Structure 1
Amino acid sequence: MTIFMKFITPCLNKKKYLYKDFYYWENSFNNSNTLFDGHFNNYKITIHSKIIYTGFLNSEKDILEHSFSVYPSTYSLLGFIQNVFLSTAFFTWFDINYVDFCIPMDTFYNVVTEVNNNNLVNSDAIALFTESYEFLQNLWSLDENTIMDKLYKFCNSFNCNWNNDPCKKLFIKIFNSPEEVYPFVIETIGWDCDEFIEEEISISKEIFKNTCDNVFSQPFINEKFIDILNSNMPTLF
């Protein structure tokens, strides 16, 4: 069965503080809106859109999840990272009661309290996550360019803390434009041989670069870009 998606162009700043509210994200989750993969709310990719790649590994629970998604604005991206990604990352790493990948739909502090009550999480780890949450909370008063600059730094810092254990990993990468995806993928795969790279991404480098470069000019690519990434890209963390 083929499903045709009606893409919508968002009003950029109207929802700024709505995206800050956890209950907006809870409602989005309950309405089955895509959060970790695909187009959030079916918004098409515009020059204002932000792409995100997230990864979760917990070998003890046989969890390996990784995907690309796209958000319509800097503020929606910030809201997702603060209200959804961070809680999910904490839960995936520290909870020992659920064996499946779960998105805990509760406020960050409630998730931390609940998991800590059941699992006695190391206080240093809680402090690191709390610092991350408070860092994100303090970004809402800033302009979009400054937020993006700080989010890039946030991602690097987060990955330094949580992307080192071969059995447990958390990863986050953001992109200001589709063109930024190409070098990230190629550099992450790390092969010098084009043949090996193309085997990994199931597409030629030339076609992949052309795809990343033409998201705005080609409606079909705009609609399918995230699907192409999630269908073709290997684990990138």
Structure 2
Amino acid sequence: MRENYNSFKYWENVINENKTIRGHMFMQKRPTEGSFYFHTLIFGRKNGMNNLWGYVPNVKGLIGYIQYSFLQEAFYKWIHGQEKVVTRIPHLTVDKIAIEGEKLKKISKEVCINMKNDYEFLSSLWEMPADKSEIQLRNFIIDFNKKWMGDNTEFLYIKVFSTPEELGEFVISSTLITSTEKELENKIGMSIDQWRDICKFAIEDSIKGQIFRKVLLKKLSEVY
């Protein structure tokens, strides 16, 4: 049965059924040839850092995840996380979250419009072929990261990868900016060369695919 990724109700049900971190809802199994991979950050002074690494079955699943789940959580925390710890995200569309935030004077009209525009842009991708929607999604992410760069009290960030190898190399390069090779190896539980090998064969080798999955779930993703 084809999943209806372009549906608020679908994502509401998936979130309710999976009592796990939102970004890990489709990670019960190892990745496949069609999978897309992501790294997201949601930071707020009161709520700490949600640093997630994950994957979804295909590009449409990725668009749906960002539009109906990530934006919902990220924007709600952006609006309400300055003054309290957010422990639950209500089942509201991004439009309603943004409008409510403006009415409560927690965000400006401009910020409200930006939130709604991001949601609407993602809505425009559904009728495109997968390859074109992927290009547009990547362009959207560049603009999104600039728009929500924020400051030392809150910021949002998304990065997308087409293969486990792309993700693996970014893990290495981004981590070594602030940590040593030894610290990275201790974190992922293997040498950098072993990590590269795991990523290279994560799709075709079931054992390496499960190791890759567990590293993303248990060792790289952090919520604090």
| TM-score over 0.5 for the pair | yes
What pairs up with 1:220-235 in 2 under 5 angstroms?
Answer: 220-233=207-220
Letter in 2 for 1:198: E
Letter in 1 for 2:214: D
8 A Cα contact 2:37 2:54, kept in partner? yes
Q: 2:198 aligns with which of 186, 205, 211?
A: 211
Q: Distance in 1 between matches of 2:9 and 2:103?
A: 23
Structure 1 unaligned segments of length 5 or more: list them: 1-10
Which residue pairs with 2:5 in the alignment?
19
Instruction: Give the CA deviation at 1:196.
Output: 5.3
Instruction: Give the CA deviation at 1:41.
Output: 6.7
Q: Distance in 2 between matches of 1:216 and 1:41?
A: 13
Instruction: Give the CA deviation at 1:178.
Output: 0.8
Instruction: Give the CA deviation at 1:131.
Output: 1.6
Q: Which moved more, 1:204-213 or 1:92-101?
A: 92-101
Counterpart secondary structure, 1:42:
coil
Letter in 1 for 2:204: S
Counterpart secondary structure, 1:40:
coil
8 A Cα contact 1:38 1:227, kept in partner? no
Instruction: Give the CA deviation at 1:35.
Output: 5.6
Which residue pairs with 1:123 in the alignment?
109
Which residue pairs with 1:158 in the alignment?
144
Q: Which moved more, 1:179-188 or 1:72-81?
A: 179-188
Cα pair distance change 1:174/1:93, threshold 3 Å: same
Q: Highest relative contact order (Cα 8 Å, sep 6+), 1 or 2?
A: 2
How far does the alpha carbon of each residue in 1:142-179 deviate from its partner, in whole angstroms, 9 at most, with x for none?
Answer: 11111111111211211112234122111111111111
Q: 1:28 aligns with which of 14, 23, 45?
A: 14
Letter in 1 for 2:70: F
Letter in 1 for 2:145: N
Which residue pairs with 1:84 in the alignment?
69
What pairs up with 1:22-171 in 2 under 5 angstroms?
Answer: 22-32=8-18, 34=20, 36-38=22-24, 40=26, 42-59=28-45, 61-96=46-81, 98-171=84-157
Which residue pairs with 2:174 in the alignment?
188
Counterpart secondary structure, 1:148:
helix
8 A Cα contact 1:54 1:171, kept in partner? yes
Letter in 2 for 1:66: N
Q: 2:163 aligns with which of 177, 188, 209?
A: 177
8 A Cα contact 1:37 1:69, kept in partner? yes
- TM-score (structure 1 length as normaliser): 0.82
Instruction: Give the CA deviation at 1:197.
Output: 4.5
8 A Cα contact 2:14 2:25, kept in partner? no
- TM-score (structure 2 length as normaliser): 0.86
Q: Which moved more, 1:143-152 or 1:98-107?
A: 98-107
Q: Percent identity?
A: 25
Structure 2 unaligned segments of length 5 or more: list them: none
